[in-house]
């Protein structure tokens, strides 16, 4: 498995002591799993929902994204719920598989274009219209950017962004597009080619 290069920014909303957004990056033998969760609202209840979701993922990271997101949906019942994005990168197969619910956005920046998967409507732990996955071409060296709605999605990234340092790019995007009144998380992951 190739080396992973990561960058991330995570801040609670102004006035809060804990952040309701969280992430997990798991490197398996043949895949990388990236999960970003945004507990509804902010504060302790949002943080608790995100912790429950990430604990569920840690128990079974090898599950396909569709099965994993359904397991998390069951686990979050009785919490405030969460929006989340589940991304499985498979460089050997040349695929990125995405499953998502709510307003956590993922973007895959390849040498040719930017792919933006569409998450399902709903809230994990409450109600989801329909769970689905999308598959895109992927190779090591492509840049995966995943962020919660505490970062505005009104930024453009071109294929040249693949060559930027992920931590410097994460800081820049959060600085320019972060919303102080909401929890913020922006994660960038790249497998070294």
- How do residues 20-31 score in pLDDT, each as one tens digit? 999 999 999 999
Question: What is d(CA 13, CA 67) in angstroms, rounded to the nearest whole number?
Answer: 31
pLDDT of residue 1: 55
pLDDT of residue 155: 93
The CA radius of gyration of the chain, in Å to the nearest whole number, is: 15
Please identify every stretch of the chain with a pLDDT value under 50, giving residue numbers as ranges: none
pLDDT of residue 9: 97
pLDDT of residue 83: 98
Q: Which CATH superfamily is domain 4-191 in?
A: PPM-type phosphatase domain (3.60.40.10)
């Amino acid at each position: 498995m190739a080396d992973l290069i990561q960058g991330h920014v995570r801040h609670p909303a102004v006035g809060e002591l804990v952040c309701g957004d969280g992430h997990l990056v798991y490197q398996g033998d043949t895949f990388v799993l990236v999960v970003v969760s945004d507990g509804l609202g902010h504060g302790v209840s949002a943080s608790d929902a995100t912790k429950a979701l990430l604990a569920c993922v840690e128990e079974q990271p090898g599950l396909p994204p569709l099965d994993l997101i359904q397991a998390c949906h069951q686990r979050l019942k009785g919490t405030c719920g969460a929006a989340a994005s589940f991304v499985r990168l498979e460089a050997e197969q040349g695929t990125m598989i995405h499953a998502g619910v709510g307003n956590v956005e993922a973007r895959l920046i390849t040498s040719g274009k930017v792919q933006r998967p569409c998450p399902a409507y709903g809230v994990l732990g409450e109600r989801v219209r329909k769970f689905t996955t999308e598959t895109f071409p992927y190779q090591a060296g492509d840049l995966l950017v995943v962020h919660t709605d505490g970062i505005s999605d009104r930024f453009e990234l071109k294929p040249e962004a693949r060559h930027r340092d992920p931590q410097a790019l994460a800081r820049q995007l959060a600085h320019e597009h972060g919303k102080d009144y909401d929890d913020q998380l922006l994660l960038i992951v790249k497998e070294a080619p």
